[in-house]
Structure 1
Amino acid sequence: MSGHAVGVRIPYAQAPGHVQRWVEDRLGGDLAQVIDCVGGMSPGPAARVRTASGSAAFVKACGAGLNPNTPDLLRAEARVLAALPEHPCLPRLLDVQDDGDWVVLLIEDLPGSPPPAPWRHADLVRVSDALAEARSVLDAVDVGDVPAAVESSPIFLTRWRALADQLHLVDPWWAAHHDALAHHAERAAGLIDGDALVHCDIRADNVVLTPDRTVLVDWGQARRGAAWMDHAMLALDCSMSGSETSTAELADADPALRDRDPADLLALAAAAAMSFVSRSTEPAPQSLPTLPATSARWADAFRPYLTEALAEVG
């Protein structure tokens, strides 16, 4: 089964009072409309809000009591958004509040929605074009405070190695192909190294399509890495979220990928899939009850591409 990642968020109405008061203060009035949003894995609220006078924003927030790691992801996203230049493919940060516990981001309200999953070919082309269009302005951003992918992307560095000790807990397919996949996953760390600012979490639910914009949202996982990574993430999401265009077909069509050795994309896919399988065997983190099942679904969705790529690449 394919589709967007869906966690369990609390509704905006359950956010602490001081969070709601801060939002209303920044927007200049009581809220007349709140539309809670689903999607993503954060347990905190995410909502489109509007005052009676028409001031609007997208609010995302989380406190350490919901999940100890999510506020740091919001802090990281706030730093990146603050550094991003104004561009149609990039979201605009309006304000941020951090009291040491709850972190609240006010982001421009985008009159659109994520592309449907499974991906449609036309939407993939839009997002691939947006990644290419944004590249020149992203290359001008000061990335000094952004973590290096080669130092802080466990999915591609170390996480996949844990599967070797968990093979008795998962489908036998993974044991039968473990050594071949591990051989390719070993190369992933070297392939993601670089100095470009990359989103590093391009998925269908991290894009908003409006009538005239294609906007890359959710920058909490941004890294300094190889510029081709975001195009690779889009190709891998053809497997993860499902698509009428396969991972291999998009790799053949995307100008940022089609001249690369097919073994490069296989290396990233192998590391990611093995990491997801490993994570699916472990207890759910605090307030992230759907993460093991989502990880298992993503891993299983990779199998057709991995089978094809292993047969082609060897």
Structure 2
Amino acid sequence: MTDCVGGMSPGPAARVRSVSGATAFVKACGPELNPITPELLRDEARILVVLPDHPNLPRLIDAYDDGEWVALLIEDLPGAVPDVPWSTEDLRRASGVLSAVGPVLDGIVSDWVEPARASPIFSDGWKLLADRLDQVDPWWAKHHDELAAHAERAVALIDGKALLHWDVRADNLIFGDQRDVLIDWGQVRRGARWMDHALLAMDCAMSGSLGPTALEFFATEPALAGRDPADLVSLMAAAGMTFAARATEEAPPGLPTLPATRARWADNLRLELEAIL
């Protein structure tokens, strides 16, 4: 067994090998570690079991759920997450994965997936910041009203019926010699078809980019052709305000680094927004 580090889950994650030599990846969590993560794993199991065989999609081998602890046994994927800051080549590879996966997701019929409005990062989390401006960088207070006007557009922008991964970041992709795979499907939502590519653009800001800026990627990405760049500004404003506000909160159980991660994402989005506003 080889422990895996990184990611956002508080539970164990490891590559395992059976006596026959077969390998797999296992991740698990119980409510005593974090009350929300087991439900995310349940959601991931529900979508993985209906995903068809496709080179850009992971395969679920088995799942365990005793009502408290949930464990997923997933195929072992050789490769590594893309380096960040993003390179232009890796962004192109990631965009290709999203474009290939989109039509596959269109063929999945499911009524359990929550609508995009269940994503508070874009829908209403940004409203928290108004009461916490004295706890964050003064830039957020100086530009609050302008940012709020942008963020208010986000809830209408994200709405739609397309099935989406909804958590597109560098650490949710595995680039391999034979195949590139989009992993960690616990956040699946229905929303606007273009949103997964927009989230990739936003990760150019959140994780950094050695190539195009978030706005440059958004403006030149074929899958986003015809979209107004102001749409990305609205998404970044909503997400940045949410992350800034929630970085002031205590860490949830099992996730001691989450406030610092939110603060870093907020700061990186702020730098992108500073260049635009």
Please indicate the TM-score interval, normalised by the length of the shorter structure. Answer: over 0.9
The CA deviation at 1:40 is: 1.5
Given candidates 91, 95, 103, the residue that maps to 1:124 is 91
Letter in 2 for 1:208: I
Q: What one-letter code is carried by the residue in structure 1 that aligns with 2:259? A: P
Deviation of the 1:290 alpha carbon:
0.4
- Structure 2 counterpart SS, 1:224: strand
Calculate percent identity across the aligned residue pairs.
Answer: 61
Partner of 1:101: 68
Aligned residue number for residue 101 of structure 2: 134
Q: TM-score, normalised by structure 1?
A: 0.86
- CA distance, structure 2, for counterparts of residue 91 and residue 217 of structure 1: 6
1:230 matched to 2:183? The reply is no
Partner of 1:254: 221
SS in 1 for 2:178: coil
1:98 is displaced (CA, Å) by 0.1
Query: Which residue in the other structure is 1:276 paired with?
Result: 243
Report the counterpart of residue 44 of structure 1 in structure 2. 11
Given that 2:16 and 2:25 are in contact with CA atoms closer than 8 Å, whether structure 1 keeps it comes out as yes
Unpaired runs of 5+ residues, structure 2, are: none
- Letter of the 1:206 counterpart: N
The answer to whether structure 1 residue 206 and structure 2 residue 175 are counterparts is no
| Residue 143 of structure 1, CA deviation | 2.8
Q: Write out the 4+ residue segments of structure 1 that deviate beyond 2 Å after TM superposition.
A: none
Q: Distance in 1 between matches of 2:110 and 2:210?
A: 35
**C-alpha displacement of 1:309:** 2.6
Task: Output the CA distance in 2 between the equivalents of 1:165 and 1:81.
Answer: 39
1:305 aligns with 2:237: no
Counterpart of 2:39 in structure 1 is 72
- RMSD over aligned Cα atoms: 0.9
Aligned residue pairs, count: 276
Unaligned runs of 5+ in 1: 1-33
Shift of 1:52: 3.4
Computing the radius of gyration from Cα coordinates, the structure with the larger value is: 1
Partner of 2:151: 185
Q: Any conservation in 2 of the 1:143–1:224 contact (CA below 8 Å)?
A: no
